[in-house]
Amino acid sequence: MILKDIQKNLSHFWAVGIILIYSLLMAEYFNSVSKLVTAMQGLDIRTSIYSYIATFNYFLVILISFAVWLVSSFLFHMFAILLGENEVDFKNFIKYTGVIYVFPAIGFVIALFMFETIELPKDNALEFLKANKSMISIGWIINISSSLAFILVIPIIKHLYKINWLKAFGAVIIPIASIYLLGKFFSEFVL
């Protein structure tokens, strides 16, 4: 079976390396957007406190992307164990969840190239970005490539944990939906 061949040759270094590339691409994309928008507003990036904030933000994006990968993988792993009867070692599972981040990484590469072609006007840059068709396409590319990574976790869970498709789907959708609903709850009633 293909999954068994991949499992023999797949190491944690591949997963961590792909997550590192993904997080660097994401940080670079957000940094590029931020630099362009602030430059259009007439701020001197090199001499202001913005350079320190941008550097801090760059490394924070990298750390957060690693944290999101580990936490989401852990939640998928826990729900797969709860819904199934077969226990799989978490270290084995994160190899697969790390490698599938190659698709969001490709999405950010495309987004970086597309963003470089956008010419911002001197005034109302934020309004321009909201209505620009290229920015809307970039958003779709990033969202679809990220969603593809979550969709690909379903067959991985099905085969590793030896559960049916519905339970594998539940192991992915329950944590995502729970986090979404908690976020909505806190944004509406707490904040």
Model confidence at 26, in pLDDT bands (50, 70, 90)?
very high
The pair of structure tokens assigned to 74 is 């852990």
Instruction: Give the mean model confidence (pLDDT) for residues 148-171.
Output: 93
Amino acid letter for position 190: V
Instruction: Give the mean model confidence (pLDDT) for residues 22-37.
Output: 88
97-143 tens-digit pLDDT: 999 999 999 999 999 998 888 777 767 766 777 777 888 899 899 99
pTM higher than the cut 0.75: yes
* CB contact at 8 A, 141 and 110: yes
* CB contact at 8 A, 65 and 26: yes
Q: Which of 141, 96, 111 is nearest to 33 (CA)?
A: 111
Highest mean pLDDT of the ranges 9-23, 39-53, 158-172? 158-172
Cα 145 to the center of its chain, rounded Å: 9
The pair of structure tokens assigned to 15 is 């997963």
CA 66 – CA 63 distance, rounded (Å): 5
Domain definitions of the chain by residue range: 2-190
36-79 tens-digit pLDDT: 777 776 666 666 777 788 889 999 999 999 999 999 999 999 99
E strands along the chain, which residues? none
User: Is residue 7 over pLDDT 80?
Assistant: no
pLDDT at 84: 84
Instruction: Give the mean model confidence (pLDDT) for residues 2-16.
Output: 70
The pair of structure tokens assigned to 148 is 């593809």
Selected residue with higher pLDDT from 132 and 18: 18
pLDDT at 1: 53
Residue holding tokens 């030896």?
A: 162
pLDDT at 2: 58
pLDDT at 116: 84
* CB contact at 8 A, 101 and 22: yes
The Cβ of residue 13 has, within 10 Å, a number of other Cβ atoms equal to 10
Instruction: Give the mean model confidence (pLDDT) for residues 81-102.
Output: 88
CA angle 39, 44, 47 (to 5 degrees): 145
* CB contact at 8 A, 59 and 91: no
- Average model confidence (pLDDT) across the chain: 86
| Pick from 25-29, 54-58, 105-109, 150-154: least confident | 54-58
R_g of the chain computed on alpha carbons:
19
